[in-house]
Amino acid sequence: VTYGWDGMGADYEAARYVGSPAGSRFEVRWGGRAMPFQSRLAGRFQVENCLAALALLLSMGKDPELLRAGLETFDPVCGRMEQFSLPAGGTAIVDYAHNPDGLRKVLETCRALCEGRLHVVFGCGGDRDLCRPGKREGLDPKLQALPDVSATLARHVCIYCKAASPSSQSSRACVARRV
C-alpha cells in the first residue's frame, strides 16, 4: 500500500489540501474514488499522518464513512500542534518536535498559519537531545543550525532558547551549542 500527495502515483493520494489554525480539509483519492475529509489536526504533515492511517484502513476494507466520521471527531494529541489562545490576542502553539525534520515541519506549518510576526521558543534537552555530542554532527548541515531553519521559513522570527532540562550538561553549554 502506497500513499502520498496528488500526482505521486500512489495507491492513496491526498489532494485539495486547505489548512487553517482550526484544522485541515483534504480529499483522499483511491481506486477511482474521491472523498473529502476534514480534521482538527493542523498542518500538511498531520494530513500525511492521517493519510497513512486512512490508506492502511481503507486497504483493509474499512468503511470510508466511518473513517471520515472518526477523523472529524479525533482530538489533537497534547503537545502536538496544541493551540492556546493568549489573553492579549494571538495563539501559542506547543509542539514537542524532537528532531530537525519535525521542527522544520512545525515551523513550516506555523509560518503558513501565522499572520504577521512568528515567535519561536524551543527547549534544549541537554545530553538527551540534539545537544548530545555526535548526534547533532550527523545531521544534514543545512539543519544543524536550527535558528537558520527558522529564519529561512519566517520573514519575521525571534528565537528564544531555553535549556528546559539540561540533564548532566550545564544550561549555558547546551544553549551555547544552539545559537
- Where residue 125 falls among pLDDT bands split at 50, 70, 90? low
The owner of cell 528532531 is 99
The owner of cell 545530553 is 127
CA dist 35 and 42 (Å) reads 19
Lowest mean pLDDT among 6-15, 36-45, 53-62, 129-138: 129-138
Per-residue pLDDT of 95-110, as tens digits, reads 877 677 887 888 888 8
Cβ proximity of 45 and 80 under 8 Å: no
Closest CA to 165 of 129, 125, 134, 131: 125
Instruction: Give the per-residue pLDDT at 21.
Output: 85
